[in-house]
Amino acid sequence: MISEVKDKQEQPKVEIAVENFGPIAKANIDLRPLTVFVGPSNTGKTYFATLVYALHGIFEGFLRVPLSNLFKSSLRILSKSHNNPADAFASTNEEAPEIINKLSTKHRHFKFLDLPKGIRELAQKTIKDSEISKNNLDIELRRCFGYHHISELVRGTQDQNSEMRMLININEEKQEFWSLNIAATNTDVVIDGTINEDMILLDENSWLSEEDGLNFEKLMEISPEIFPGLIVNNMNRYYLPAARSGIMQSHQVIASSVMANASRAGLEQIEIPTLSGLIVDFIQQIILYEESKSSESKITKLSKTLESDVIGGQIISTPSQNRYPVFLYQPSDNSEGFRLSQSSSMVSELAPLVLLLRSGIKPGDTLILEEPEAHLHPGAQADMAVILARLVRAGVKVIITTHSDWLLQEIGNLILEGLIDEETDEQPSWLRPEEVGAWHFQKDEPVKEIAFHPRKGFSPKDYEDVAEGLYNRSVNLQQKYEKLKGESRREST
């Protein structure tokens, strides 16, 4: 039988609702292990994906305890100075003995009120202090969307007093954790947050063993919010934008130009074009690229599968004179490497994903990928669906925007594979229906979830309308053609 997801402590449910947000009239979306945004262009798919990226950056992974990234940076310590994580925790917290004692007690719930006082206070400030919440929100939203004021995200309507609303709700099936309400107009922003101080953070003892007692490393793995000061990076986020192919071919030029202009900015009044935080983060990942030391991890191995099964060659990184890496494509049947600009657009499109899989993305991280089907043959689009499913099986949360019917069909097939529970020796790529959420964006209409159907899979109505329209047009033209041929034959006889 196919094994269940290995996480002992499942991550909480993340619900994000918006109203009058950019091009989106209304949406209420809960993020699944694989979340799919479909629909016509300019309906808000990228807007919502960017919002998820920004909020993830503010709250660093939507944990049960809402600690802003800005606060957490002040809590972090260099645990390398201690041989044992427990020693590092104890050296920075006078409440450590009491907390460790509570964690070591079997069959006892560990609650929010059991956390160190400092962490509780910072969590409460993150949510309940409206000025702090407003500042954190404004900094990251402005960076990611590139606006001057949050009012620019308010959806344009005939009503000049229209209000944008946003809700972030973090919960589990049996309890609420925290929520944040944001309302913005052209002149004001109001933020109101609540936190459940009676929340149960841990209700089992999977971090205890009969022989060794408290397993600190395991505890940090399944509940990082308890020890934010010990963890340098909890859950990272990655965004591969639709423009990644062009950026990959010209990242050295972009980086060199920005640095050159920045160095002259103090002497000349040069206006430097700005890039969104998404693009800046993406370029930075490329410039600072380093391969992961754990070359045998499931995710690193997946990069090799992507290279062999889809790209048909290797992506090679070499240093350059200006210190920026140069990426080459070496086909499987060729010993020579080619610059990405000399390779197919498919190679440039997938190279960033290969590099990301090789550079340290880990279970618990979030990958947002725009149009994974771009520049891919339909067969390769189906292969990409398998790659995404394997990322999910490895513990990575995946969000995609797509226009590809082929991709959706293969995702449906992988869900059927999960329902059948077939045993296989291959790397697992099955999915469960509850692990996948597909959401349909349409202009001036609320975003709706697309239900999975065992026979039809995920079938957006506008896709069906296009297919039906093309079929009817083809039949009509064929009938006209046959009629014209018949008339021509009669005239010739």
Q: Taking 80 as the threshold, does the pLDDT of residue 165 lie above it?
A: yes
Q: Taking 50 as the threshold, does the pLDDT of residue 77 lie above it?
A: no
Q: Taking 70 as the threshold, does the pLDDT of residue 161 lie above it?
A: no
Distance CA 252, CA 339 (A): 12
**55 domain-assigned:** no
**389 domain-assigned:** no
Q: Tell me the pLDDT band of 159, cut-offs 50, 70 and 90.
A: low
Confidence at residue 396, expressed as pLDDT on a 0 to 100 scale: 94
369 exposure class (CB count in 10 Å sphere: 0-12, 13-18, 19+): buried
118 exposure class (CB count in 10 Å sphere: 0-12, 13-18, 19+): middle
221 lies in the same domain as 119: yes
Domain boundary residue among 234, 259, 289? 234
Confidence at residue 44, expressed as pLDDT on a 0 to 100 scale: 95
Confidence at residue 326, expressed as pLDDT on a 0 to 100 scale: 85
Q: Taking 80 as the threshold, does the pLDDT of residue 217 lie above it?
A: no
**100 domain-assigned:** yes
Q: Tell me the pLDDT band of 96, cut-offs 50, 70 and 90.
A: confident
**341 domain-assigned:** yes
**192 domain-assigned:** yes
Domain boundary residue among 202, 234, 266? 234
277 lies in the same domain as 226: no
Confidence at residue 5, expressed as pLDDT on a 0 to 100 scale: 36
170 lies in the same domain as 284: no
Confidence at residue 343, expressed as pLDDT on a 0 to 100 scale: 86
126 lies in the same domain as 200: yes
Average pLDDT over residues 74-96: 59
Distance CA 210, CA 316 (A): 47
Domain boundary residue among 361, 392, 417? 361
Cβ neighbors of 279 (< 8 A, separation 6 or more) are 241, 243, 247
Distance from CA of residue 349 to its chain's centroid?
17
Confidence at residue 277, expressed as pLDDT on a 0 to 100 scale: 83
121 lies in the same domain as 195: yes
182 lies in the same domain as 269: no
281 lies in the same domain as 210: no
- Dump pLDDT digits (tens) for 351-410: 999 999 998 788 889 999 999 999 999 999 999 999 999 999 999 999 999 999 999 999
**464 domain-assigned:** no
Confidence at residue 491, expressed as pLDDT on a 0 to 100 scale: 77
> Of 208 and 35, which is predicted with more confidence?
35
**42 domain-assigned:** no
Q: Tell me the pLDDT band of 2, cut-offs 50, 70 and 90.
A: very low
What integer best gives the mean pLDDT of the chain? 82
Of 22, 19, 38, residue with least CA distance to 442? 38
Q: Taking 90 as the threshold, does the pLDDT of residue 187 lie above it?
A: no
Strand 338-339 relative to strand 326-331: parallel, antiparallel, unpaired? Answer: antiparallel
1 exposure class (CB count in 10 Å sphere: 0-12, 13-18, 19+): exposed
271 lies in the same domain as 338: yes
Distance from CA of residue 186 to its chain's centroid?
30
Average pLDDT over residues 217-222: 72
Q: Which of 235-244, 288-297, 304-313 has the lowest mean pLDDT?
A: 288-297
The rounded percent of the chain whose pLDDT value lies above 90 is 38
Q: Taking 80 as the threshold, does the pLDDT of residue 422 lie above it?
A: no
Distance from CA of residue 356 to its chain's centroid?
13
145 lies in the same domain as 207: yes
138 lies in the same domain as 212: yes
225 lies in the same domain as 284: no
Distance CA 63, CA 71 (A): 14
Q: Tell me the pLDDT band of 266, cut-offs 50, 70 and 90.
A: very low
Give the E-state strand segments of 196-308 in sequence order: 200-202, 208-209, 213-214, 237-240
Q: Taking 60 as the threshold, does the pLDDT of residue 8 lie above it?
A: no
Average pLDDT over residues 252-266: 54
Q: Taking 70 as the threshold, does the pLDDT of residue 252 lie above it?
A: no
Residue 330, H or E segment: strand 326-331
> Of 491 and 6, which is predicted with more confidence?
491
Q: What separation in angstroms does the CA of 370 have from each of 36, 75, 102, 186, 222?
A: 10, 34, 44, 30, 29
Confidence at residue 259, expressed as pLDDT on a 0 to 100 scale: 52
Confidence at residue 260, expressed as pLDDT on a 0 to 100 scale: 52
Query: How many domains does the chain divide into?
Result: 2
Q: Taking 90 as the threshold, does the pLDDT of residue 467 lie above it?
A: no
162 lies in the same domain as 132: yes
Residue 182, H or E segment: strand 176-184
Range of the domain at 160: 62-234
**41 domain-assigned:** no
Q: What separation in angstroms does the CA of 298 have from each of 103, 240, 290, 291, 368?
A: 31, 20, 18, 14, 19
Confidence at residue 448, expressed as pLDDT on a 0 to 100 scale: 95
Confidence at residue 406, expressed as pLDDT on a 0 to 100 scale: 93
Q: Tell me the pLDDT band of 78, cut-offs 50, 70 and 90.
A: very low
- Dump pLDDT digits (tens) for 100-146: 788 888 888 888 998 888 888 888 888 888 788 888 888 888 889 88
CB 254 within 8 A of CB 283: yes
